[in-house]
Amino acid sequence: MRSVAAVASGVRITWMQIPAQVRAGVEAIIGGGAVVTAVSQSGGFSPGTADRVVTADGRRAFVKAVSTIQNEQTPSLHRAEAHVVGQLPPNSYVPALLGVYDDGAWVGLVFEDLDGHTPAVPWSATELEAAMTALRQMAEAFTPSPVPDLPSVTNFYSTAFAGWERIRTEPPTELEPWARHHLDGLCRFADRGLACLA
């Protein structure tokens, strides 16, 4: 590997911190020889790698890889993402999934690398409007869902949104007085939030 540029912030790992056998598996999916350039991408919440890579023969890809060492839940999130993206019809909204590396501990997703950039923070009005337009168009293009047996967003988040109700049912002794006093309202807001997702 001739050069590696890292510009990510936070706790994200880099391409060179992935075990050699995982890098080799990802390179086999991309084709074109070894990765010679990897530029780490900032943003997002995963502690795993997120790199735009280029192979020896000039092939490009976007790679996300993580293991249970970085976070116990993130590999299953990567698998779920691969399950969904891998079943989407050809479209202009989501980069195509080129392949998945999964050895049980490490999960690497390999996507086509598209030109572009992440939105500036704070968001500009122009980029926010572009993102909202794309989301509306995606909702139309992917309704009904092209992924069979995908749980609804309300089913997926129902447990998370029921957190305040669980606290109200069995309040912990160290619960902050403000939260204890406002539990009924917090439960109503959670119910409203889940309804808005629907």
> Band of the pLDDT at 40, cuts 50, 70, 90?
very high
User: Cα–Cα distance between 11 and 14 in angstroms, integer?
Assistant: 10
User: Cα–Cα distance between 107 and 75 in angstroms, integer?
Assistant: 6
Beta strands at 3-6 and 35-40: parallel, antiparallel or unpaired = parallel
* pLDDT surpassing 50 at residue 8: no
Q: Are 168 and 183 in contact (CB under 8 A)?
A: yes
Q: How many CB atoms lie within 10 A of CB 13?
A: 21
User: Which pLDDT score, from 0 to 100, does residue 3 have?
Assistant: 45
* pLDDT surpassing 90 at residue 9: no
Q: How many CB atoms lie within 10 A of CB 14?
A: 16
Distances (CA, A) of 7 to 4, 46, 74, 81: 10, 15, 21, 24
> Band of the pLDDT at 67, cuts 50, 70, 90?
very high
Q: What is the per-residue pLDDT across 139-188, written as a single tens digit (0 to 9) for each?
A: 999 999 999 888 888 998 999 999 999 999 999 999 999 999 999 999 99
